[in-house]
């Protein structure tokens, strides 16, 4: 029976699951470092299982470099599990280095379809850690010689084994395999099981057929008749490397194989027929497949189509109102509700728990504080909070910069913390929290905090601001100096900091998503950086405003309040237009002047008004007021990005189309310039 199958069809599933197992492996190693004795056993077993599964999958897919590295890692972890070696930070460093190399191999497989990356150096390091130095040869240890001989003669043994099996030598086993019912890739799992069995013997028959098994045309169980010279325990050990196999039952010498298999196939067909009849009679039952994997590009296409429906929904509602068509109005009430439900479901389909990006950061933080001789307790909170996939992808770099900043600038060295009366081990918390209409992601440390005077001095010394300019800044405004391009408080450039680009990247990325950054810091007690992010960027709630008889949209996530201001309340301080709002100075942006608009009086629009409407909005630098003619209404809008000719235009964040067909600019609050 042939088992030559195109492995490429399983590559995507292999990559996706390998990434998940490597993430679990890395997290287990980090947990192991601080685990108590009882917890350590559980965590170590979890790490071993993850590595063992990756080894089995990579071997089945013929990625030998990955398989050899996992095998060597297992040997080291076996020493830990047996208690012959204790857990040390250096040992964790070594295993995390292996994890990094496995990630590199995974990327290579994803990009090139192979794992052709040299792993000899990390394998050599592993051998040294295990006590097998460079001077040792295979002859020095019988078990190594046996393994070397086995590897050297593998092809010969495989050939001989195949010949013997075909001649009927060896024992015939009946193997019943059950795949876990929660498994998303039962066809892949089954194929890997068959491939593993084919490597240790000859598959005489399967029930159902191998083709049906690979195409998932079976329940969750299948049977294999195998001829091999190895024992049933060795068969089970071989199958242990295949994930999601719930049960493997092996019986001894099978008799009348062909007749039995034929009967089994007949019974299977009867069961399949009964199953199909039952399904047709009982459509209310849940389908066997409860989830499917959808390419993100397809979800984007569906989101765009829903966006068009939202635009046309608004148009139809407006037509019904203008022409007072009663039938249309009643119908649109149902249509509006249906489209809203559809929009909600599509939005939910795009939502992913932040855990998918949070789980990669413990290793990053550990590498950073270990390299600097610091001690840190890293805490993750709110991993279950969900964000749109697009937003989630874009915040990875900002979070990396914030964590680097917390380790490098925030947390002190252990000796310095002790002198300050603190615990030697610092604390950094990465947390996600769902709030009304948006999500906040914060990075908080209990380090030395930010000194506003030092920030002012750095801004002057780097030529970013003048002395008299920084003197007027409040402490809160001084904190925001770190967002300026080229700003850094590091005395020298290192691999972690000193280039003056980190916090600028954070601000730029977050504001591009329609969010903003907030800073809270107290000298001696630490710093908290908060990213306020929209749930999604495709369809948003907006405030429509009128300026000189033209309509604009402001993302509602930026709006804090709408106030009425008398003309006499507006002052000019050093060329800046401001008002006093509850004891604080609020800078104003004249939207009319920003876009060169004029009112109906053709003489400057606002010049002859006695009262103004001011929309107070928030951004990373603080709150500002937008002076408009009228605040119209709140509306759900579809965001259309500006074309290449208008990208980068000051104050322009895109466009939307209203129900009457009008194209309305969306204000980019982050890039608005003060008058």
Using DSSP's 3-state secondary structure scheme, residue 274 falls into helix
**3-class SS letters over 414-452:** HHHHHHCCCCCCEEEEEEEEEECCEEEEEEEECCCCCCH
Element (H, E) at 673: none
The answer to whether residue 295 is catalytic is no
The alpha carbon of 207 is separated from its chain's Cα centroid by a whole number of angstroms, namely: 40
Active-site residue, selected from the candidate residues 394, 401, 405, 412 = 405
247 phi, psi to nearest 5 deg: -150, 140
Using DSSP's 3-state secondary structure scheme, residue 531 falls into strand
> DSSP assignment, residue 410?
I
Q: How many CB atoms lie within 10 A of CB 431?
A: 19
Active-site residue, selected from the candidate residues 20, 74, 375, 636 = 74
Residues 6+ apart with CB under 8 A from 25: 47, 50, 51, 54, 99, 102
Question: CA quadruple 162, 168, 172, 177: dihedral positive or negative?
Answer: positive
88 phi, psi to nearest 5 deg: -130, 160
Measure the CA–CA gap between 591 and 595, rounded to whole angstroms. Answer: 6
Measure the CA–CA gap between 401 and 588, rounded to whole angstroms. Answer: 31
Residues 6+ apart with CB under 8 A from 441: 354, 395, 399, 430, 431, 432, 433, 530, 531, 533
Omega prior to 208 cis, within 30 of 0: yes
Rounded alpha-carbon distances, angstroms, from residue 381 to 109, 391, 427:
33, 18, 13
Measure the CA–CA gap between 658 and 310, rounded to whole angstroms. Answer: 10
Active-site residue, selected from the candidate residues 52, 68, 401, 606 = 52
The closest alpha carbon to 432, from 342, 377, 336, 351, belongs to 351
Residues 6+ apart with CB under 8 A from 559: 543, 615, 616, 617
Structure-block tokens of residue 48: 């071993």
The answer to whether residue 74 is catalytic is yes
Task: Let me know how many helices (H) and strands (E) the chain has, helices first.
Answer: 23, 22
Residues 6+ apart with CB under 8 A from 333: none
DSSP string over 451-514 = -HHHHHHHHHHTTSS-HHHHHT--HHHHHGGGGSTT----SS--SSS-SS-HHHHHHHHHHHTT
The answer to whether residue 68 is catalytic is no
b/e code 225-258 from CB counts within 10 Å (16+ = b): bbbbebebeebeebbebbbbbeebebeeebeeee
Measure the CA–CA gap between 152 and 607, rounded to whole angstroms. Answer: 90
Rg of the chain taking only CA atoms, in angstroms: 32
**Catalytic residue numbers?**
52, 74, 405
């Amino acid at each position: 029976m042939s088992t030559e199958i195109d492995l490429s069809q399983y590559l995507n599933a292999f990559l996706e699951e390998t990434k998940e197992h490597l993430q679990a492996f890395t997290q287990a190693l980090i947990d192991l470092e601080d685990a108590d004795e009882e917890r350590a056993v559980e965590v170590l077993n979890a790490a071993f299982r993850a590595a063992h599964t990756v080894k089995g999958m990579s071997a089945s897919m013929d990625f030998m470099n990955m398989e050899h590295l996992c095998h060597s890692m297992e040997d080291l972890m076996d020493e830990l599990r047996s208690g012959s070696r204790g857990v040390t930070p250096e040992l964790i460093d070594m295993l995390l280095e292996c994890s990094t190399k496995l990630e590199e191999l995974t990327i290579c497989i994803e990009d090139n379809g192979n794992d052709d990356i040299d792993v000899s150096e990390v394998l050599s390091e592993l051998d040294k850690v295990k006590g097998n130095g460079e001077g040792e040869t295979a002859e020095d240890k019988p078990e190594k010689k046996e393994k070397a001989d086995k590897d050297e003669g593998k092809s010969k043994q495989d050939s001989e084994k195949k010949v013997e099996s075909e001649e009927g030598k060896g024992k015939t086993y009946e193997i019943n395999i059950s795949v876990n019912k929660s498994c998303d890739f039962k066809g892949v799992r089954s194929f890997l099981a068959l491939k593993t069995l084919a490597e240790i013997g000859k598959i005489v028959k399967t029930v159902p057929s191998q083709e049906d098994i690979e195409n998932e045309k079976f329940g969750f169980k299948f049977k294999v008749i195998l001829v091999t010279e190895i024992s049933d325990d060795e068969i089970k050990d071989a199958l242990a490397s295949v994930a999601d196999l719930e049960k493997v039952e092996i019986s001894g010498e099978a008799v009348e194989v062909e007749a039995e298999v034929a009967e089994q196939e007949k019974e299977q067909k009867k069961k399949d027929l009964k199953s199909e009849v039952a399904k047709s009679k009982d459509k209310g039952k849940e389908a066997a497949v409860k989830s499917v994997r959808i390419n993100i590009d397809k979800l984007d296409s569906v989101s765009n189509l829903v966006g068009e429906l939202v635009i046309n929904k608004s148009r139809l509602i407006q037509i019904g109102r203008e022409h007072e068509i009663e039938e249309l109005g009643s119908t649109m009430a149902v249509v509006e509700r249906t489209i809203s439900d559809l929009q909600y479901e599509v939005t939910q389909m795009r939502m992913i728990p932040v855990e998918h990006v949070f789980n990669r950061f413990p290793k990053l933080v550990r590498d950073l504080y270990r390299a600097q001789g610091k001690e840190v307790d890293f805490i993750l909170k709110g991993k279950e909070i969900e964000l749109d996939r697009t937003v989630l992808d874009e915040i990875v770099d900002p979070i990396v910069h914030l964590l680097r900043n917390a380790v490098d600038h925030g947390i002190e060295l252990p000796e310095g913390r002790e002198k300050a009366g603190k615990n030697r081990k610092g604390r950094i918390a990465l947390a996600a929290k769902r709030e009304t209409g948006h999500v906040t992601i914060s990075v908080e440390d209990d380090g030395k905090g930010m000194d506003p005077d030092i920030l002012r001095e750095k801004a002057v010394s780097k030529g970013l601001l003048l002395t008299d300019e920084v003197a007027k800044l409040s402490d809160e405004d001084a904190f925001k100096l770190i967002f300026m391009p080229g700003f850094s408080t590091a005395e020298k450039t290192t691999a972690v900091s000193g280039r003056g680009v980190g916090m600028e990247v954070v601000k730029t990325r977050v504001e591009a998503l329609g969010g903003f950054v907030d800073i809270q810091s107290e000298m001696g007690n630490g710093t908290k950086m908060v990213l306020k992010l929209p749930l999604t960027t495709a369809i948003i709630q907006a405030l429509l405003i009128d300026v000189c008889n033209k309509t604009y949209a402001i993302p509602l996530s930026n709006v804090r309040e709408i106030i009425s201001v008398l003309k006499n309340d507006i002052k000019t301080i050093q060329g800046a237009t401001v008002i006093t709002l509850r004891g604080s100075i609020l800078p104003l942006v004249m939207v009319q002047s920003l876009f060169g608009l004029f009112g109906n009086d053709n003489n400057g629009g606002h010049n002859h008004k006695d009262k103004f409407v001011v929309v107070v909005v928030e951004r990373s630098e603080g709150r500002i007021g937008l002076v408009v003619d009228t605040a119209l209404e709140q509306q759900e809008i579809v965001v259309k990005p500006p074309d290449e000719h208008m990208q980068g235009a000051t104050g322009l964040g895109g466009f939307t189309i209203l129900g009457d067909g009008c194209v309305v600019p969306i204000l980019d609050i982050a890039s608005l310039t003060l008058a």
